[in-house]
Structure 1
Amino acid sequence: MMNYFLVIIILCSTPGNSGYKTLPTPPSDHSNELIDHTKVLVEFISKLHLSNRCSDVVLVVGKERLPAHRIILASHSEYFRRVFFEDDKKPHKSEVNLSDAPVSSFEILLKYIYTGRINLGDLKSEEVFEFLRISDYFGISNLKLPLHEYLKNHRNEHIDHTDVLVEFIKNLYLSDRCSDVVLLVGEERLPAHRIILASHSEYFRRFFSGDYEEAHKSKVNLSGASITSYKLLLRYIYTGQINLGDLQGGEVVELLWISDYYGILNLKHPLHEYLKSTIDVENAWSFLAMTRTYKYNDLEVESLHFIDNHASEVLQSDDFLSLTSEVLRDIIIRDTFYCTELDIFRAVCRWIKKHQNNLDHNTEMNVLSAIRYPLMSTKELAEVRLTPLVKSNKSLHDIIFRNTSSPDKLQYRGQLKPNVDLIHRPDQSGLIREPSNTPVINGINGSTTITLRDPSFINYIVISLPGVDWLDEQRYYSYYIEVSMDQNVWFHVIDHSNYNCRSIQYLWIKPRIVRYIHIVGTKSTAKATFEFLQVKYNTKEMHEVEIKNGLVVPKYGYNVASSYMYAFVIKGEHHLMSQSMLNILDDDHYDRVGNKIDRFNMYTYHYLQSGCIVIHLAHPYILSSMRFLLWGGNDQFYKYTVEDSIDNQDWKWIAHESKELKQSWQVLKFTPRPILYIRITGVYNSAGNDFRILYFEAPAQVIVDDRGKNNETDVIMTEASTSNPVV
């Protein structure tokens, strides 16, 4: 592997350029500099107890054969240190006979050696005396004082010497004592211990326990990184600790690379987090080149995100001038590289001037043509026209001023801030959301317009319709939402103008750049005032939905028929609590005086031959499955029908289960279609005169395959009916 600094110079330089800025700069808050994985070190050693993995000796105690590891035994016990390492000229024994040691006491001692812990309260007094005797015999001095104290007063029964265990392993770092392998890095010799390396590293575990010829050699050659990095890695393996604040930027990167290569998995996340915290304006370009060199995709995403959101500043950095033409073009063609085109043009001119002696005409034009000149104002274009670069280049002049783009075809840039609410901000406590300085215009005739501070990528809008808390009133509203960049050209992103919507609207759209968002009411049962609650680019939940024909298609796990998603039961009765069957099944519920309610006493019902249960979703979704739990368990049977509607007038069958007896969970799978209302009608109850549902959800929160199978109950497969059912 090449030295990190050399790699960055190669990737970030154009011919003739050798300048470059180092990275990363340590974070100012020092919050994640110290990595302390001593607990992990203890866990690794503990897992070796009675394990055949990398075992190099068997202890024969009575009839028991106990696999063990010389270095672990020797690090704790003077006895085993003499047995295994007193005379290096003698061949190592593969078995050690300890026939005089009592089996039960020795097994406890062996567990202490590997874990650093023992609970004396589990032993009888005579067993503690015996344990004291053999710990003295094997030279484990750390046990003497706590065992004496316990025998005196029977206090402090739990011994925890994990810190001693860690100290023993720490003392082996770069120590010739008990070393059984030497790592050769160039001319340097690093004494080490096979079992310690293998306990941390998947690479060394395979290497020392495999059939490689080198596996049994006393010397192993390592290459690809500096001696400094190998010592850092060994220090972590033996101590569980590293202070990243003491390291140079290149050392952190190289440490990440070799920890990946040697399979030290516990280091990856903290090193990634530390490197993320070091990105700044001066090193962002070099950081990006580093992530591409080592193919660290998540770090590349972080560096691109930083560059996008600090575009104006990073364009001014000296590090920017070291970019290759390919990387420069890759960046400025990004829609998320949010900066004015004039600033980009000026920066590119600086870059061309820096490398003018090494650029051919095609490379220069390739970079300049990536700038979006149609987004410039007339005044900005006038400045561009007067630059020497444009005045002397007819091809470039033609590209800039031969613009025939219509306003609706312009390719805008916008900021991308995943999961950040663009219209509100938290207060200092982080708990209460206050209005931001974003201007909100409440229009007339049931419309509301909001202006974002900056053009932004969005895919998620949450709005509030009036009457959220009035669950018994049938307040319905219809509306559409349009977005714009200039308030001249508008695009419809949500069209619910023909649907009866209510309460909170969790709305998904296909990602796009917007500046203005306009809600227009089309009809309502009361005076409409729309309120924006959230506008963001939502990545946390975007995998749970799809957009089809302008409507949301919820996937498995995204239950839109819950009270949390503001679905309501508009027909039917509730036992004990409002909206019973739409509440979370396993949640804690309490009555008005604070008494806990058994969830299985909360259900929704209607009397047979009188009424039905109707669910009104907050707005229409495209659904293809649903699931509900009938009350009464395995001792009660029902018959029912299920229908859906988009307008609460024309209904289609989902299921017509009026012949077979049904109980417990019911899972329905049907042809995908838009649904706003769901009607369930009970026609039979084997133990009463009402029909009860304990819980309802849509889509079904179980995996249902195309054959109608799932791992809970039978699935009813249905097709959409084109005719209205007889009710």
Structure 2
Amino acid sequence: MSLLDYSDQYLNKKLSDVTLVIDGTELTAHRSILCERSDYFKAMFSDRFAEGKADRIVLKEASLKYFEVVLKHIYFCNRKNYTVASILPDDFDEVFKVYACAKFYTLDELMQGIISYLEFGGCPTIQMLNNAMAYSIDYLVLEAARKIKYDAHSIVELKIFENLTAQAVEYLLKLKLNTRQSTIFEALVSWMRLNTDKSDLFPKFLKLVDLYILSQEDLEILFKPTKLIDRKICQELINEQAERAKTAIKIVNENVINDPDDLCVLKGIIHFRSLCLDCRSIQFDKDQIIIDLKHQFYLNCLKFEIKQNKMSYTVHASLDSRDWQIIINHSKYDCFGPQVLYFNERPVRFIRINANPDYVFSLKVNIEALYSTEPFEVDPDWALSIPNRNIMPSDIFTTSPIVKICGEKIDQEIRHLIVSTAGPALLLANQYHYISFRLSQPYIIGSMKLQIRHLNSYFVLVSTNLKDWTRVFTEENVEGWRTVTFEKQPVLMIKIVGTKALSPYFRIFGFECPALEVS
């Protein structure tokens, strides 16, 4: 496409070779410019159509008001400092009509400019959704729905549904709005009372709300002050949903939350700072995050990542968001980073995570809920996972999100200064007098392996709170791969203290926890 500025030719009769007639108004134009900017006119002025040689063409499909904007863009688009916004009407409804006109005459550049203007130019979300659906602008439909979805807790107070078209209401009901079903139901009933002429749609729309988990008190707004639907029809919908909900779905080794954008957060504040997943987070709302999976699934594993340095928490599961059962209790442990939680298989629809109320916590949005065919065994007394494979990073000498290592890393070893052999100067200069491994979450541990060289003596301590330590193992004058065994117990941190070596330093060249083969 040419970069020439044709603004001086706009409605200029000089050199004009065609007249466009719309609603009885004549607009002078230039074939070459129209063909250059629009494939529609390029085809019209070809030899295949009668208009190709006509001097006067009536455009019956166009509205003068909106075609004038399109024509102005054709002539002004390469003018210095030109913006699409400068030619658009003030009314957003009319801007959408300009878009429809631009689409008809195949002006892709103008269409894209209008979409950007509507997205960033302050178009109200409801107005955007209604019009975007009417004119099939998929991008704006998704953008408007995203805004409503993540602020869905306010749909009743802001009367979002009351101003929506029936088409837009149905679209939103099919989404995973981030609010309780009772709130969605209340918003829908408000819309129904304002649109009684569309009563034939009421049963169809009510099917999209999970009536079976609503209380009788919630349901009564359907019938008072006036009845919107027959009670018998409503009860049939409830019975149908309740029967269907009895069957939980089992999807093996796959996250039932298909995409972070599909995550339905009933309680919690979602922050979107960018498209990067690592920059998105869910902040706890009054110490809770509640997630609705929208269906019942058989689950035995939950994965999420804590953004803060430490957080203690509990996890609860429910089928109806009223009766909750605790499935994970980490309330006594300071956890961090990625959490991989196993529990006994059970049907789950709602997941609630409770955190320490004294602090503000958040999780990354890449939450996973699944049925694993290779779960860790769960200790019945402590309700903690018993790992059956190494939970240490494959390379303990690199930074890992699942374990924090304290010790001096040099080449392929981790070392600490042995206090008994160090002089005062060394003790002051070196902060490491032990090697420690802090796990991101508690496990039931009863063994580990470490690789040392030459003759060394050491002892091992474990802790669950980083304050109280229990010595569980001691060895003297040993070398090679050493297997450490002790009574299985909850472990959050492991501390290895060397007491003797051939040099002032105690060194580890490999570490495994738990020991995969206990000698």
TM-score with structure 2 setting the length: 0.49
Q: Rg: which structure is higher?
A: 1
TM-score with structure 1 setting the length: 0.37
Structure ranking higher in strand proportion: 2
